[in-house]
Structures are given as structure tokens and as C-alpha cells.
Structure 1
Amino acid sequence: MTAQPITPAAVPLRHLYRIPEAMRLLSMSRTVIYEQIRAGRLRSVTQGRTRLIPASAIEDYVRVLIAESEVHVDQAA
């Protein structure tokens, strides 16, 4: 069996996600999602009183996490 490289899965064909949906997509708690939003690492928009996460922001955030993990691996070697 050959090891397959890990690549992030594409976000489903929706443009905006509510916080609980983003929590499931990213496998993160509500607290962590809001911490990442406050830190500017995860972009969000508001519509009325609803905070929404654009699909592109989720994809960007996953790319940042992957890039950061690769830097940490390189520094450890």
C-alpha cells in the first residue's frame, strides 16, 4: 500500500457558513473559532446579527494551518 499525500478537502459548494457549520468543517470548538476570528486568522462577515464564515476564508485558514505545520516540521529537523 502506498502512502497518499494529505491534501485539504474542498469546502462544499456554499459561499457562507454559520459558526456551528464552520465548527464541524474545521473540527474546532466555538471558543477556538471565535479566538481565531478575533486574532484575524479566520475571516468572517456579519449579516444583521448573524456572523458568517465565507467558504474562501475556511479554505485560506486550512492553507495557513498546513503551511505553519510544515514550517514547524522543517524547524524541528
Structure 2
Amino acid sequence: MTSPSLAVLHHAEAAPVLNLLTVPQVMARLQLSRSAVYDLIRTRQLASITLGRARRIPTHALTDFIRTRLEQEAAA
């Protein structure tokens, strides 16, 4: 059995794992309604992707959204 090359191992370690959340998962984390989450997506305050008919929100997009809102609150 041969082991993968060092370049392949390095690439696999360097590639970030992209976790995707469903709308209900985001609803639960933010304690918001379905329509409120879709409003955030529609107004591009919360980034998302569509896979077929399914809407998914990358975890980093949710983190960025929360960080932005915290910064806005602190500046006000």
C-alpha cells in the first residue's frame, strides 16, 4: 500500500472545512423566525448558497454576520 504524496497531504490540511447550515439551524442559533432569516439572506446581510432547491448558509457567513452586527452595535 502506498501512502499519499506529501503535496497531497499538505493540500488536504490547508483546505478549510466548509460547514454548511440549514435555514432551521440558523433560525435556532439566532433565535429568529424563518421569514427573518430569509429577509437577511434576501437583503444580502447573510450570505448563502443554493444547492438544487436547498438553501445553505456557510458557518463563516453566520460568524461574519454576527461580528458585523456586534461592531455596528459597539459603534452606535
Task: Judge same fold: TM > 0.5, yes or no.
Answer: yes
Aligned residues: 60
Q: 1:14 to 1:26 in 2, by over 3 A?
A: farther
1:30 corresponds to which residue? 34
2:10 corresponds to which residue? none
5+ residue gaps in structure 2? 1-16
Quote the sequence identity (%).
33
- d(CA) in 1 for partners of 2:75, 2:33: 25
Q: Structure 1 residue runs of 4+, over 6 Å off? A: none
Deviation at 1:28, TM superposition (A): 1.2
CA-to-partner distance for each residue in 1:3-38, whole Å, 9 max, x for gaps? xxxxxxxxxx87001100010111111111111111
1:19 matched to 2:62? no
2:72 corresponds to which residue? 68
What is the root-mean-square deviation in Å for CA atoms of aligned residues? Answer: 1.5
Q: Which of the pair has the greater relative contact order for Cα pairs under 8 Å at 6+ separation?
A: 1
1:52 corresponds to which residue? 56
Rg larger for = 2
5+ residue gaps in structure 1? 1-12, 73-77
Q: Which has the higher helix share?
A: 2
- d(CA) in 2 for partners of 1:64, 1:39: 15
Matching residue's letter, 1:62:
I
